[in-house]
Structure 1
């Protein structure tokens, strides 16, 4: 009887010891972050994309400020869905971070099966730099502002180049077409080629994010018509917003976001969020963002989560109303 009692106590001790080890595991991983092993930052797009550029700026600064090792891994394809699916399956321990664009919020509505739930499968870690989309025209196009461009579209057959089907640069113009009751033919390009198509005269107008457009605007190769944010951008203060021409509820941005797999402990989320904000606020980081036509603002995981929910709902409505889809 005493022997069985002793074995029972030993068994309970082993069970408690195992429980303590399991409980200590996540806590230990949190305490060690980011020095236990390299942190992989997985980017949903290829090298040279603005998401990739932002990821590499932040990765470098994180390495300098935390002493950890941060490696950037590009996993392009399916509008970022390949990378998203990979990170979704990663351990929620802070050692795999997803960097995506606004496409993260659009894709679940745009694709028949994007492979993830934007609000359930990830923790919104931090909102990175963002930029309004911008409408530009070839200098030979007679329209000098958005009102004249809409009037021109009513008289003539126009087309516009965008950064691809289902991007916010595409969907923003589709929203505008519906509001203005005009028909302008969409011609999708790869992001870097959309503005080049207007410069070369292959399309009379374009809708792109600001990074590829700003250098061409400053060089006089395209003319800026309007930005799609509710207010003017501080980066191009002379360019009016779409709302100034009477189109309400336009506040469309191209943005970069950082995400962690669902289940990541909140204490670790808050710690990594603080480090990313610190990295983005460094003067060299801000200078790089400005050179891309982008701006960043300190934000918490909770604040990014609220922003993300609004973006998912907004773009789901736009996709439904415009009938946009990717097979």
Structure 2
């Protein structure tokens, strides 16, 4: 089972206040039809969405019938929308395309089993391309009865304003060190490595879990240099990065994480103009990645464009 596939099965660690907020909204009888779950990469946004789905579908007990179905991915009232394999290139797409969203229509045309909620989770909604985003927007504009949408993304600015305006925003805070330790232990990280990994995670254990799976050290070194304002890209560094099929995607992910962190830090310091520029850079980077992958553009040039976006003041 991959890290992503295990999200439905893993218990939620942390985020107790956010879950309580959602639970109270549910109990009030005035539950909003669209929720945008946002927070830095690796913080547990999708795990949180699944926890909310378990609450709505009566599957909080993993041993119950509904609980087992959610874990197995077979619950008739739950649909996960995410990126899929590009069969031509034999690798994971970097964007969610219209074909990935079309199953929602069939899903919503069926009456919910047992008269319960229907739940749609859009994982990494920032990866929606324009057509997919517009298709989702139409569903959010006229939401079917007893249907809840959860969209996960690093920052609300990563999505269309029209989509944001139709969702209730719910931000997740970083996990504590102890919560981070629990997540890493559950995913098999050795006890003697935990202190260093917890420090590296900075409250987002998924960041460590993802980095363990990446063999592209060049992307990490280059991202750090660009975020520090060093704009010269050595030819050997660029060649090393693009030697891997996912090198450009990894670089964009790391740069996006850095820009999102920068925007939050600047906003926290009251530097709203600078924070807005960092958020705009994040959105530009996301657009560059989508267009590069969609049209198979020259990644050498795309890396240099990404560098200009990330290193701009």
TM-score (norm 2): 0.29
More strand as a share of residues: 1
Say which one has the larger Rg: 1
Greater RCO (CA < 8 Å, at least 6 residues apart) = 1
